[in-house]
Amino acid sequence: MKHTVVPLQAPSAVLPPLPSGSQVIDNDHIAAVFDEVADLLDIEDANPFRIRAYRNAARTLRALTFDVAKTLSRGEALPKLTGIGVDLAGKINEIVTTGDCSLRQRLRSTLPPGLVGLLSIAGLGPRRVKNLYHDLGIETAQQLCLAAQQGRIRHLPGFGERMEARLLSAAQKGIGKDRRLPLALVEPMARRLTEYLQQIPGVEQATTAGSLRRMRDTVGDIDILVVAAPSVDVTTQFISHPDISTVLVKGHARASVMLNSGMQVDVRIVEPAVYGAALVYFTGSKAHNIAIRQRAQKLGLKLNEYGVFRAKNRLASTTEVSVYQALGLPWITPELREDRGEVAAALAGHLPGLIELTDLKGDLHAHTHASDGGNSLEEMALAAQGAGLEYLAITDHSQSLRVAHGLGVEQLLKQIDQIDALNSRLQGMTLLKGIEVDILEDGNLDLPDDILGRLDLVVGAVHSHFGLTLRQQTQRLLRAMDHRYFTILAHPLCRLINERDPLNLDLPAIIKAAAQRGCCLELNAQPPRMDLFDLQCQYAKDEGVLISVNSDAHRTADFANLRYGVAQARRGWLEKHNVINTRSLTELKAWLVIKSPTTFRG
């Protein structure tokens, strides 16, 4: 089909209300429909560029910092979105209106939707999935296992005995492409491997790349770039590492292995002369790589992991800076390399001056052994000071959270006196009096006003009733934030990576409310939390909401987690002035006084 290019328009009439029930037509939902369409088209062997268009659109939707369905339902026009033309805009409209699109229904009528699940088995792509379905009727992983055990797969064209065994193993072990672990859990594994690689004779350097280097909150596999002369056989020595359980791929320039922990590791070996280009390539993200390759194309250049080329002449390759420079761009920090506008910003000279760990002057969320922490007030104060901070808010749990020995009124009053006494002794460190007060099911706070009013700040958090509906949960938080002493909403989504899904929450409404009320949102730096997400930080920034990057420390060692919080903040494009706890104690006190004129007694 041929189309003229016009801006994406909202429908002329206001859309009917969203489908009732629990289904939420958010950007992720629309993206998921597009991804499934892409997978099914792929299996159908459709035009690969058409397939890519659906994948690109899904990626674009996930990266938006506003809600498409809400914008359309207000009758507003969406801005022109990269990679979304007339046809896909129409499908977005259809999905928002009906919850589905007719193309997906048509594809599902000819191809079982279960086939999409087969794509997640290592070694299976669209061609093989299609052949397995057409020739053997295989639609599920169970059917795949059975057919492999019966030796029926080896006879298909393009398969064979080894492929059959590999697929059986992958399907049985559930070796997929989706397992992601918290960054902090993966870092030590990666460190052991890079140190091992570095001591192999002839290896000049071993560097982590991929999402680990981009400091994503979760990591799906460990990517390591090794610099060595071509004569050095790195991969043979690498695969003898004791942490490795399975070798998936081994060549001279590349190896992929599975660790005993289940984490996949990809090692790539390059010569010193191409280190910069290889590091750019191997750091990704894939989307960023595509974006800068398109930039190269526009300049009549070619970019790959060996350098930037004009015809066969290599213009740059030794350092990342030189590679970006050859593309007419300043160096882009890895945390921003997600194709979320960083290339355009770099071109325009508008890259943000991102927050650094050393910008943090304090931490506004920490516990002591008065509730569920492991250390005393003084130990926490000194540890915070040792981490380079000048103030620390003590925010133990409140009485409802019995499992964490939450503080009642009397205990909190006692702690206030203890903090006053300790502050008179501390030098260069000030403790602030706070509480992590439970937000009850109805949105009320867990302690009476007259007590909360005696604190320097009030950090509110949800620790129960995670399963409320979107409307109930949103109303609950909005009501809590209406409270006159409410300062910071802690871990707003309450997700625990791989353990608990984010709350069913209208986060844009919460962010807008925070902007109106002058509340902060927390970016909780506990590795299993990392809450808010990077994109949501960016959205909050756009809406003028201040973020507090907090450790939620329960023991003295936890202040080290602040670096993960700062990394996530950087991924969310946050600058120093977007983060409340970069302010000096004096500035923070002024802000708290303005916010709640009667509270601060410092």
Please measure the distance between the N-terminal and C-terminal CA atoms of the chain and give it in whole angstroms. Answer: 68
User: Least CB distance from residue 280 to DNA, whole Å?
Assistant: 12
Q: Which is nearer to DNA, 118 or 455 (CB)?
A: 118
The yes or no reply on residue 302 touching DNA (CB under 7 A) is yes
Q: Of 18 and 46, which CB lies nearer to DNA in the complex structure? A: 46
427 near DNA, judged by CB under 7 A: no
Stretch that binds DNA, among 238-246, 292-300, 468-476, 492-500 (CB under 7 A): 292-300
DSSP annotation of 366 = B
Cβ neighbours of residue 589 closer than 8 Å, sequence gap 6 or more: 600, 602
Residues in contact with 444: Cβ distance below 8 Å, sequence separation at least 6, in sequence order: 479, 480
CB of 84 to DNA, least distance (A): 5
CA distance 96 to 100: 8
Measured from the CB atom, is 178 or 499 closer to DNA?
A: 178
Give the tokens for residue 384.
């915070």
- Other C-beta atoms lying within 10 Å of the C-beta of residue 465: 14
CB of residue 289 to DNA, shortest distance in Å: 6
Residue among 303 and 549 whose Cβ is closer to DNA: 303
Q: What x-and-dash track marks residues 534-553 binding DNA by CB under 7 A?
A: --------------------
Q: Is 134 in the site for DNA (CB under 7 A)?
A: no
- Bond prior to 183 in cis (omega within 30° of 0): no
Interface residue with DNA among 86, 345, 382, 515 (CB under 7 A) is 86
Q: Half-sphere exposure of residue 174, counting CA atoms within 13 Å on the CB side? A: 3
298-306, 361-369, 389-397, 501-509 -> range binding DNA (CB under 7 A):
298-306
What is each CA distance from 462 to 65, 116, 166, 397, 401, in whole angstroms? Answer: 24, 36, 45, 11, 10
Q: Which is nearer to DNA, 312 or 425 (CB)?
A: 312
Q: What tokens does 152 get?
A: 């029926």
Residue 316: strand, helix, or coil:
strand
Q: Does 289 bind DNA (CB under 7 A)?
A: yes
Residue 182 phi, psi (nearest 5): -60, 140
Q: Using the rule CB under 7 A, give the single segment among 224-232, 243-251, 334-342, 472-480 that binds DNA.
A: 243-251
By CB under 7 A, is residue 252 in contact with DNA?
yes
The three-state secondary structure class of 101 is: coil
Smallest gap from Cβ 170 to DNA, in A, equals 8
- Least Å from the CB of residue 221 to DNA: 6
CA atoms within 13 A on the CB side of 376: 6
- Residue 293 engages DNA in binding (rule: CB under 7 A): yes
| Nearer residue to DNA within complex by CB, 288 or 570 | 288
Please identify, using beta-carbon distances, which residue of 37 and 370 lies nearer to DNA: 37
Of 149-208, binders to DNA (CB under 7 A) are 154, 157-164, 166, 177
| Residues contacting DNA: total by CB under 7 A | 67
Among 16, 28, 77, 82, which residue sits at the site for DNA (rule: CB under 7 A)? Answer: 82
User: Shortest approach of DNA to residue 81 CB, angstroms?
Assistant: 7
SS3 content of the chain, % helix, strand, coil (to 5): 45, 15, 40
Is 87 near DNA (CB under 7 A)?
A: yes
- The kind and range of the H/E element at 470 are helix 470-481
The answer to whether residue 88 forms part of the interface with DNA (CB under 7 A) is yes
CB of 250 to DNA, least distance (A): 4
Residue 296 CB, nearest approach to DNA (Å): 7
Q: Which of 36, 223, 522, 558 binds DNA (CB under 7 A)?
A: 223
The C-alpha angle 43, 45, 50, rounded to 5 degrees, equals 105
Q: Which is nearer to DNA, 52 or 180 (CB)?
A: 52
Measured from the CB atom, the residue of 115 and 377 that comes closer to DNA is 115
Contacts of 459 (CB under 8 A, 6+ apart): 364, 365, 393, 395, 434, 435, 436, 437, 487, 488, 489, 490, 522
> How many CB atoms sit inside 10 A of residue 284's CB?
21
Q: Which stretch binds DNA (CB under 7 A): 24-32, 295-303, 366-374, 584-592?
A: 295-303
DSSP code for 14: P
**Which runs of consecutive H residues, i.e. helices, occur in 99-182?**
102-110, 114-118, 126-136, 141-149, 161-173
94 touches DNA by CB under 7 A? no
Task: Report the residue number, 144 or 566, with the smaller CB distance to DNA.
Answer: 144
Candidates 148, 171, 210, 263; binder of DNA (CB under 7 A) is 210
Q: Name, in order, each residue with C-beta under 8 angstroms of 283's C-beta and a sequence gap of 6 or more.
A: 209, 210, 213, 214, 223, 334, 337
**Residue 318 vs 504, nearer CB to DNA:** 318
Between 252 and 601, name the residue whose CB sits nearer to DNA: 252
**Contact stretch for DNA (CB under 7 A) within 282-290, 398-406, 474-482, 528-536:** 282-290
* Interface with DNA, residue 341, by CB under 7 A: no
Q: In 3D, which of 265, 245, 262 has the Cα closest to residue 254?
A: 265
SS3 at position 523: strand
Q: Rule CB under 7 A: is residue 276 a binding residue for DNA?
A: no
Tokens of 467: 């399963």
List the one residue from 253, 345, 382, 509 that touches DNA (CB under 7 A). 253
Question: What does the buried/exposed string (b/e) look like for 20-44 if buried means 16 or more CB atoms within 10 Å of the residue's CB?
Answer: eeeebbbbebbbebbbbbbbbbbbe
Binders of DNA in range 41-70 (CB under 7 A): 47, 49-50, 52-54, 57
Residues that bind DNA (CB under 7 A): 1-5, 47, 49-50, 52-54, 57, 82-89, 103, 119, 121-129, 154, 157-164, 166, 177, 210, 221, 223, 249-254, 256, 264, 266, 286, 289-290, 293-294, 296-297, 300, 302-306
